[in-house]
Amino acid sequence: MAKKKKNSNKKKHKLGLKGQILLCMAIITSTIFIASAVFLLIAMIPTFVALIVDRSKERLKSYTIGFLNFAGAFPFLMDIITTEHTIDYAIIIASQPLTIAIIYAAAAMGHLINWAVVGIIANILVQKGQKRLSTIQKRQATLKERWGPEVTGELDLDEDGFPLEMEATRAPAKN
């Protein structure tokens, strides 16, 4: 009998019941509002790319780009909904260079905001870590001065836990 090999590297991503219901609702809604769906499909391309590229667990870059991408597309989407809700009109609006420039510039702003915030937070965390390291080193120096080099953990110990070079490392006693 041949043993079945388990491939733990490939994880199947299954939709739960909520995911299946949401997918069905999205399909039904997009067929009812086909003009809006066509426009958003074109307008939200930067968000789709960000979803594919962003491999982080939280997908914060995708959220930032997506929200600002939608914010840039929203005025044009409202124009389509309130004026003439047809596929032809949606394609006309989406094919105008100024429309695409505004929508994609908003998505680019999302990318810029994400880049800046990540850089600022990383810088703050590095500075906080350096300050913590400095505080720990000062505390270690104080403890070493007070208790001697035995507390550093740098001395070799015998089987009973006593330093082997204790006499050699200690300063001579003052009389």
pLDDT in tens, 115-170: 999 999 999 999 999 999 999 999 988 988 888 777 777 777 778 877 776 555 45
Rounded to whole angstroms, the Cα distance separating 153 from 149 reads: 8
How far apart are alpha carbons 26 and 38 in whole angstroms? 13
| pLDDT, tens digit (0-9, with 9 covering 90-100), for 42-88 | 999 999 999 999 888 888 999 999 999 999 999 999 999 999 999 99
Residue 148 near residue 170, CB atoms below 8 Å: yes
**pLDDT tier at 5, thresholds 50, 70, 90:** low
- For the cut 90, the answer to whether the pLDDT of residue 3 exceeds it is no
At 77 the pLDDT is 95
The radius of gyration computed from the CA coordinates of the chain, to the nearest angstrom, equals: 31
Residue pair 106/72 in contact by the 8 Å Cβ criterion = yes
User: 133-146 burial by CB neighbour count: b if 16+ within 10 A, else e?
Assistant: eeeeeeeeeeeeee
